[in-house]
Amino acid sequence: MSQTLAEIQSRMQAHVLHGDNAALADVVAGSGLSPEHRLGIYHHAYRARLTETLRDSFGHTLSYLGDDWFDHLAASFVAQHPSLHANLRWYGQGWPAWLAAELVEGSAVGAHPEVAELAQLDWALRQAFDAADAPVLSLAELAAINEGDWTGAALPTQPSVSVLTLHHNTLSLWHALDQDEAVPPAERLTQPMGVLAWRKVGQPHFRSVSAMEAVALSALLQGCSFEAICGELLAAFPDEDTTPVAATLLRRWVDDGVLTCQADLT
Sorting pLDDT into bands at 50, 70 and 90, what band is 18? Answer: low
**pLDDT at residue 124 is higher than 80:** yes
Which of 24-33, 182-191, 210-219, 221-230 has the lowest average pLDDT? 24-33
Q: Where are the domains of the chain?
A: 1-130, 132-266
**pLDDT at residue 237 is higher than 90:** yes
Return the pLDDT at 150.
74
Sorting pLDDT into bands at 50, 70 and 90, what band is 39? Answer: low
Sorting pLDDT into bands at 50, 70 and 90, what band is 212? Answer: very high
Return the pLDDT at 11.
59
Average pLDDT of the residues in 2-27: 57
Sorting pLDDT into bands at 50, 70 and 90, what band is 30? Answer: low
CATH class, domain 132-266, is alpha beta
pLDDT tens by residue, 43-82: 556 778 899 999 999 999 999 999 999 999 999 999 899 8
Average pLDDT of the residues in 205-221: 96
The average confidence (pLDDT) of the chain is 86
Sorting pLDDT into bands at 50, 70 and 90, what band is 143? Answer: confident
Give the residue with greater pLDDT, 87 vs 66: 66
User: pTM, whole model, 2 decimals?
Assistant: 0.84
% of the chain beyond a pLDDT of 90: 65
Q: Give the chain as a 3 state SS string.
A: CCCCHHHHHHHHHHHHHHCCHHHHHHCCCECCECHHHHHHHHHHHHHHHHHHHHHHHCHHHHHHHCHHHHHHHHHHHHHHCCCCCCCHHHCCCCHHHHHHHHCCCCCCCCCCHHHHHHHHHHHHHHHHHHCCCCCECCHHHHHHCCHHHHCCCECCECCCCEEEEEEECHHHHHHHHHCCCCCCCCCEEEEEEEEEEEEECCEEEEEEECHHHHHHHHHHHCCCEHHHHHHHHHHHCCCCCHHHHHHHHHHHHHHHCCEECCCCCC
Return the pLDDT at 6.
59
